Amino acid sequence: MKVRRSREIEGVTLIELIIVLGLISLVIMVTGPMINFSGNAHRKTVDEFNLQSSMRIASQTIANFTRHGTAVFPILQDKLDNEGLANGWNYFALDSGGKRLVHFVWNSTSNSHTENQLIELDANDDLYLGMSFFQDPSDTRLLQFDLHAFRQGQSSSVMKISSELNAINTARIDQVGSSSNRPVALAYRTGARPDPRMKIAVTFVVDISGSMNFDMAGNPSSGYAGYNAAVFDTNDVRIDHLKNISPGMIDRFANFEHAPVYLSLIQFNDNANNNKTGPLLNLHDQANVQSVKDQIVAITPTGGTNTGDGMRRAYHVLRNFYLANEADYNVKSYLILLMDGDPTYWSSTSGSGTNYQVNDGNINTLRGNGSTTITDSHNYVKHISETLITGSTSPFDISTSVIAFTNETDGGQVRAQQTADFCDDPGNEFRNGSYYHAFSGGKLDEVFNDIINSILDDTWHIYGP
């Protein structure tokens, strides 16, 4: 009889179980971080994509509203911190923590700003937003714009969007800040601009002495002592440049949209008597524009140079206009002085001493010899500047631009610079004197544009928040 042997069932020993569990734990330890890293990397990629998308959408939103703004003003951090948001204006700005980019929209019904959030970062993350604006020097309606994300303590950006904002419906974009202190917010409005009831008064004080017939290098023209046909440049004559270039300046003033420019052409040689002093004409009237241009074309240079008398008459033209309009208008006053050399005459109330004439009207007595009495004549310029233009009793402020219109290397440029300094009051930013050197016709055009842009900046700024 055969005996069937039972099969022994093999079991798992405790040691084997421990080994298996250890291997499983090792696998988990090795692959767990990899799986976790993969998940974190995926989430980070998604977060960065979402942030980049939000930044691009925000950038496009800012561009769209800027394009349709009738007034657009970059805002510096100091102004934002000290003054906050102005009523009636909309803003694009970051919150104080740098975690949110907000579109603050003015609500005229509630008289408050409604917050439309464009970007919000995780409050627990070390990622922050930065935003800055800077003006394109080639176009006063273009604004460069940077929006970036960065980690605290790091100088480089994690992500950055740069674009160009084109404010096609505004007169210009106010230029504020510098490369080291850029605006951090943008204010705009899309409705009608506020009306500060402004008038801009400009006196264009032009030297029409005989030397304006010389070429830019100072070579005398035919009919003057020292004339040499071989060296006189007929294509580079001072008066010709003035007549060719000045109409463009007049047209630019006429095209000021935000406020009318009233311009007076004041000519001076031995004096600036009534026949050389024109009234302030509103250049929004095309007939007045043509009238000023005709006056410039009709200039015939002759005589000596009484720069102080031209400045005296300009002051009183501006003063009378200011007093007649100050009750109803914000009047901004400017004096543009073009001189091609040294002063040689001064105006006096008597025939002796330095009894300088400062009151309005035709001169009583002409002093000087028209050639060598430069110091005394320049002292009259200084007296008019310090007594009238920056005088403590003057009821209004004048911004003065002095142009040395010559390529000579004599003292004329120095005295033009000194004249600008005489008209500058360090204690009053609205009484400033600026010096320009126009050594050619092309440079004169550049100088005119610089002065016009300065006036536009100064007068447009009042429309801002």
45-58 in b/e form (b: 16+ CB < 10 A) is eeeeeebeebbeeb
- Amino acid of residue 137: P
Better-scored residue on pLDDT, 312 or 126: 312
Residue 269 DSSP label = S
- For residues 129 and 185, what is the distance between their CA atoms, to the nearest angstrom? 13
In terms of Cα–Cα distance, which of 265, 342, 274 is closest to 307? 342
Residue 458 falls in which region: left (phi positive, over 0), alpha (psi -120 to 50) or beta: alpha
Top-confidence range, 65-69, 100-104, 149-153, 350-354: 100-104
In the chain, % of residues over pLDDT 70: 92
For residue 110, what are its two tokens? Answer: 């509630």
Over residues 369-381, the mean pLDDT reads: 94
- C-alpha to C-alpha distance for 208 and 275, rounded to whole angstroms: 13
pLDDT at site 42? 45
Report pLDDT digits (tens) over 411-422: 789 999 999 999
pLDDT at residue 455 above 60? yes
Query: What is the pLDDT of the chain when averaged over all its residues?
Result: 89
Residues 6+ apart with CB under 8 A from 29: none
Kind plus residue range of the DSSP H or E element containing 422: helix 412-422
The per-residue pLDDT for range 72-97, each reduced to its tens digit, is: 999 999 999 988 998 888 999 999 88
- Residue 139 CB neighbours (<10 A): 13
Residues in Cβ contact with 124 at an 8 Å cutoff, skipping those fewer than 6 apart = none
Q: Is the pLDDT of residue 456 over 60?
A: yes
- Tell whether the torsion through CA atoms of 326, 333, 420 and 362 is positive or negative: negative
State residue 6's pLDDT score.
Answer: 47
CA 21 to chain centre: 75
Stretch 19-45: mean pLDDT: 62
What pLDDT was estimated at residue 1? 47
CA–CA separation, 438 vs 339, rounded Å? 10
Q: Does residue 35 carry a pLDDT above 70?
A: no
pLDDT digits (tens, 9 = 90+) for 102-141: 999 999 899 899 999 999 998 888 889 999 998 877 787 8
| More confident position, 24 or 223 | 223
Read off the pLDDT of each residue in 231-253 and give the average, rounded to a whole number.
Answer: 97
